């Protein structure tokens, strides 16, 4: 390429922040076939960057380098992510359902909060400091009616938050009255209590719960519950092979509910309960 290939050794010229040419020997020209091969490789690397967290630079041989901005991997089907405040033990309903609060300042729908609610939250804090209980109660009603509430963050400061019920995607834990129902809930409490969670939201169910994958400090909560033998892979709604693999590991080792001679599936137990045969 005229004006580029003849640069001094080691000199790098950026091309719009994405492509640049690096020469190893002054004045050396790259054969057209080599340029074509580098271009094809560049396209492949750019395509792969959409699937992985790319490094800052890819180099093809000693001549062509591609600078790429790192991109976060987003699984197919994820609508958005929620980053929760610390989870309270009382927030765990059973082995597959958690109630969480999300700080609206870090929420994907933060722009949807009305000015009335924002103002009420600010004034509520002032009313509490002034110990004006009547004023604080009136402002709190405005906040609650708007679908929000004031919740303490990690520093003990009251922040405007929204409440969500989360259904762990792809697993079904024993109901509380079933064998290992109590153990499943206790294990989930032990795992998430006092922690902040990252939740990838895929959908909502007929009960108004958000359905998502839950990450607790780098640990997949679904994987944890399946490997502990405290949940079934809910194959009617999720066909991921890794969930079947984790469940099978617990089956083979007879961990948790798999120690039972014939463990009952939660969805079949619920069906019997609805028909009055439990």
- Which one from 51, 149, 187, 209 is the annotated catalytic residue? 209
Q: Count CA within 13 A, CB hemisphere, residue 218.
A: 0
Question: What's the sign of the alpha-carbon dihedral 110, 115, 119, 121?
Answer: negative
Active site residue 209: yes
Looking at the chain, how many residues does it have? 278
> What does residue 100 show for φ and ψ, rounded to 5 degrees?
-130, 160
Cβ count within 10 A of residue 177: 10
From residue 166, alpha-carbon distances to 82, 89, 148, 238 in Å are: 11, 14, 16, 16
Reference 247, options 263, 262, 261, 232; nearest CA is: 232
- Which one from 167, 169, 187, 247 is the annotated catalytic residue? 167
Return the exposure string of 87-102: e unless at least 16 CB atoms fall within 10 Å of the residue's CB, then b: bbeebbbbbbbbbbbb
CA dihedral 120, 125, 128, 132 (to 10 degrees): -40
Contact 73, 53 (CB under 8 A): yes
Return the exposure string of 144-165: e unless at least 16 CB atoms fall within 10 Å of the residue's CB, then b: eebebbbbeeeeeeebbbbebb
Instruction: Write out the two tokens for 102.
Output: 């999300």
Active site residue 167: yes
Distance CA 269, CA 278 (A): 7
DSSP-assigned beta bridge partners for residue 12: 22
- Which one from 13, 123, 165, 175 is the annotated catalytic residue? 175
Residues annotated catalytic, as ranges: 167, 175, 209
């Amino acid at each position: 390429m005229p004006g580029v290939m003849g640069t001094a050794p080691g000199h790098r010229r950026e091309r719009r922040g994405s492509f640049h040419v690096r020469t190893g020997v002054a004045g050396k020209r790259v054969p057209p076939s080599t340029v074509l091969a580098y271009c094809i490789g560049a396209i492949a690397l750019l395509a792969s960057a959409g699937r992985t967290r790319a490094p800052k630079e890819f180099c093809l041989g000693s001549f062509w380098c591609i600078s790429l901005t790192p991109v976060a991997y987003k699984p197919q089907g994820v609508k958005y992510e929620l980053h929760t405040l610390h989870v309270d033990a009382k927030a765990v309903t059973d082995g597959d359902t958690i109630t969480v609060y999300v700080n609206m300042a870090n929420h994907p729908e933060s722009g949807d909060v009305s000015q009335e609610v924002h103002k009420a939250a600010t004034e509520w804090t002032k009313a509490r400091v002034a110990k004006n209980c009547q004023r604080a109660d009136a402002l709190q009603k405005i906040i609650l009616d708007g679908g929000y509430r004031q919740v303490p963050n990690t520093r003990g400061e009251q922040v405007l938050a929204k409440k969500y019920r989360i259904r762990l995607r792809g697993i079904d834990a024993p109901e509380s009255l079933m064998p290992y129902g109590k153990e499943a809930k206790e294990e989930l409490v032990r795992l998430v209590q006092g922690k902040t969670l990252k939740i990838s939201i895929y959908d909502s169910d007929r009960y108004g719960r958000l359905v998502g994958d839950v990450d607790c400090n780098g640990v997949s909560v679904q994987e944890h519950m399946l490997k502990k033998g405290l949940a079934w892979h809910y194959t009617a709604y999720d066909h991921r092979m890794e969930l079947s693999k984790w469940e099978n590991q617990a089956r083979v080792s007879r961990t948790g509910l798999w120690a039972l001679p014939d463990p009952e599936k939660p969805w079949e137990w619920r069906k019997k309960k609805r028909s009055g045969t439990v």
